[in-house]
C-alpha cells in the first residue's frame, strides 16, 4: 500500500519565490503543496481544510511576521502541525526567535530548488519523512 502524500502549507507572499518553491516541491511525488500569500489566509485555510503535515512560513509577510503567525496558529489549532521557517532572515538571533516560538527548523532563502524537497522531508514527522 502506498504511503499518503505529505501535505505542505507554504505561507510565502512573493509570487515568484512561491511558484519556484511549489514547482520544486512537486518534483517529489510524496509531497503536495498549497501556497498561501498572507498569515490571515493561512489561518482561514487551517480553519476549513485538513491539517497540513508541515507548515513553511516566511518571516516577512505583508500582514504579520512569521513568529506572530506561529503563535496565532498554536492558539488557533489544537495540536498544531510542525512549523518551519522559510526565510532570508537566518542570523543566529533570528533562528533563536523561531525556535523559541516552537519552529522545528529553518530553510534559508535563497534556496536550492533541487534540494528543497529533501530539506522539507527532513522536517516532516518521522512517520511521514
pLDDT for res 129:
52
The residue with greater pLDDT, 125 or 52, is: 52
Residue range(s) defining the domain that contains residue 19: 6-84+93-123
Sign, Cα dihedral of 114, 118, 123, 127: positive
Work out the average pLDDT over 77-95: 94
* pLDDT bracket for residue 110 (50, 70, 90): very high
Separation between Cα atoms, residue 124 and residue 45, nearest integer Å:
20
pLDDT for res 125:
82
> Do residues 117 and 74 make contact, with C-beta atoms less than 8 angstroms apart?
no
Q: Considering only CA atoms, which of 60, 62, 61, 72 is closest in space to residue 102?
A: 72
Residue 1 falls within a domain, yes or no? no
pLDDT for res 128:
63
* pLDDT bracket for residue 49 (50, 70, 90): confident
pLDDT for res 1:
41
Total domains in the chain come to 1
* 90 grid coordinates: 537566518
Residue 47 falls within a domain, yes or no? yes
CATH number at residue 102: 3.40.50.2300
pLDDT for res 66:
96
* Residue 89, H or E segment: none
Q: What is the mean pLDDT of the chain?
A: 93
How many Å from the N-terminal Cα to the C-terminal Cα in the chain? 16
Q: For residue 125, what are the CA distances in angstroms to 41, 42, 120?
A: 24, 20, 10
Amino acid at each position: 500500500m502506498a504511503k499518503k502524500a505529505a501535505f505542505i502549507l507554504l505561507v510565502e507572499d512573493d509570487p515568484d519565490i512561491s511558484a519556484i518553491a511549489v514547482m520544486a516541491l512537486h518534483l517529489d511525488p510524496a509531497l503536495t503543496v498549497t501556497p498561501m500569500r498572507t498569515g490571515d489566509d493561512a489561518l482561514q485555510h487551517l480553519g476549513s481544510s485538513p491539517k497540513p503535515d508541515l507548515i513553511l512560513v516566511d518571516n516577512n509577510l505583508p500582514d504579520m511576521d512569521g513568529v506572530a503567525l506561529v503563535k496565532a496558529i498554536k492558539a488557533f489549532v489544537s495540536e498544531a502541525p510542525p512549523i518551519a521557517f522559510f526565510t532570508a532572515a537566518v542570523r543566529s538571533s533570528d533562528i533563536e526567535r523561531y525556535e523559541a516560538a516552537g519552529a522545528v527548523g529553518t530553510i534559508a532563502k535563497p534556496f536550492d530548488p533541487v534540494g528543497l524537497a529533501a530539506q522539507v522531508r527532513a522536517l516532516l514527522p518521522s512517520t511521514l519523512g
